[in-house]
Amino acid sequence: MGSTHGVINLIHLADTPGTSGHSVSVRVLGRFQPGILTGHDFLDCEIVIVTESVKAAFPVTLLPEDLADWEGALAVLASGRSAQWLESGRTPSMKFKPDGSGGLWVFVHDGPASGVTVTLPLFVLPPTWVGEQRDLLTRVREVYPREVAETSPGTYEWRRGTRA
């Protein structure tokens, strides 16, 4: 585990300064199994929640399709509707519910491990928050490009030009 890139955010949502101080982030720590074909493109991450009374971190391993699903969730959120992400049951799940007045409710449910659900209100987000999250997603994809191809079910190889 780990990375030479350092920790980067895939998601970072925080109340504007001077409000609640609540935040939720999905921090990418590195590749899950760097150099191993079957785990190289998976990302070792953590969901981090901070409020005045709760600080929590939930470990999560993201698959390449989870990044595509986050892109889809952002499209739904951009339209002002609620969106869910990481609903496979293998990781903690997240639900995002706009409140209609510029805020967002975030629900993190750690069903697979602890059963804990944390509900986090973000009262005031900047109007550009969806675009900012898209920029973070682009950055993660630049730092951790897909380097493994599944050539047939259960058969993997390095994409051309990514490995010697």
Cβ count near 132 (within 10 Å): 15
pLDDT of residue 161: 67
Q: Provide the Cα torsion 78, 80, 86, 87; round to 10°.
A: -140
Task: Assess if residue 22 is contained within a domain.
Answer: yes
Give the global pTM: 0.91
pLDDT of residue 37: 94
Report how many domains make up the chain. Answer: 1
User: Distance (Å, rounded) from C-alpha 66 to C-alpha 47?
Assistant: 14
Task: Assess if residue 70 is contained within a domain.
Answer: yes
Task: Assess if residue 107 is contained within a domain.
Answer: yes
pLDDT of residue 69: 98
Task: Assess if residue 163 is contained within a domain.
Answer: no
Task: Assess if residue 79 is contained within a domain.
Answer: yes
Task: Assess if residue 1 is contained within a domain.
Answer: no
Q: Provide the Cα torsion 89, 3, 24, 113; round to 10°.
A: 30
Which CATH number covers residue 17? Answer: 3.30.2450
| Domain carrying residue 108 | 8-158
Task: Assess if residue 62 is contained within a domain.
Answer: yes
- What the block records as the tokens of 51 is 């409020």
Which DSSP string corresponds to 119-161?
EEEE----TTHHHHHHHHHHHHHHHS---EEEEETTEEEEPTT
User: Distance (Å, rounded) from C-alpha 117 to C-alpha 92?
Assistant: 9
Compute mean pLDDT per 10 residues along the chain, 164 residues long, and list them. 73 83 96 95 97 92 97 97 96 95 94 93 92 98 95 91 57
pLDDT of residue 19: 74
Cβ count near 149 (within 10 Å): 14
Task: Assess if residue 116 is contained within a domain.
Answer: yes
SS3 69: helix
